[in-house]
Amino acid sequence: MSHSDPAHADSGHAHDHGHAHAHDHGHGAHGGDVHAHPVPAKILVGILMMLFLLTFITVAVSYVDLGKANLFVAMAVASVKAAIVALFFMHLFWDKPFNGLIIVSAFFFLGIFIGLALLDTKEYQHELIPMFEKEGQIQQQLDRPPG
């Protein structure tokens, strides 16, 4: 809870009604008050603008055919957006690291899960889906200009 806190710097106290005790560590016998860390509205709006920008980028890139790279670009941009949401909207940037560890480990194990599941992908497709080798042909058909 002793991390850098933008709220102390500027407009955090602008709307201050019942805020006086929020940082009063000595209150009570055990200092057990909740320490509110309000994030300034300016930062939150700035975060939203960044998310808009990244959304624009990912939509714009989708109109450009980069082949397989499209998927990686889309996933990379999405991950940056997700990280921004988690860090700032969900306060992980100022929060106890342990909360962040929980969610990061969830994604880590999800990565292992999907990675292992994908290990033998396409391994048996030739047997399971007889038309698999015709995939290129479909692609050609899809690539054909309309009309």
Q: Could you tell me the end-to-end alpha-carbon distance of the chain, in angstroms, rounded to an integer? A: 63
- Rounded-to-integer distance, Cα 86 and Cα 96, Å: 13
User: Which position among 3, 4, 8, 12 is part of the footprint of another protein (CB under 8 A)?
Assistant: 12
- Rounded-to-integer distance, Cα 77 and Cα 83, Å: 10
Q: Which of residues 79-118 bind another protein (CB under 8 A)?
A: 81-82, 85-86, 88-91, 95-96, 98-99, 102-103, 105-107, 109-110, 113-114, 117-118
- Rounded-to-integer distance, Cα 4 and Cα 140, Å: 56
- For residues 4 and 30, which CB has a smaller minimum distance to another protein in the complex? 30
Instruction: By CB under 8 A, tell whether 66 contacts another protein.
Output: no
Task: Please state the closest distance from residue 132 (CB atom) to another protein, in A.
Answer: 8
Task: Please state the closest distance from residue 5 (CB atom) to another protein, in A.
Answer: 11
User: Which position among 59, 66, 97, 126 is part of the footprint of another protein (CB under 8 A)?
Assistant: 59
Q: Which of 50, 52, 39 is nearest to 91 (CA)?
A: 39
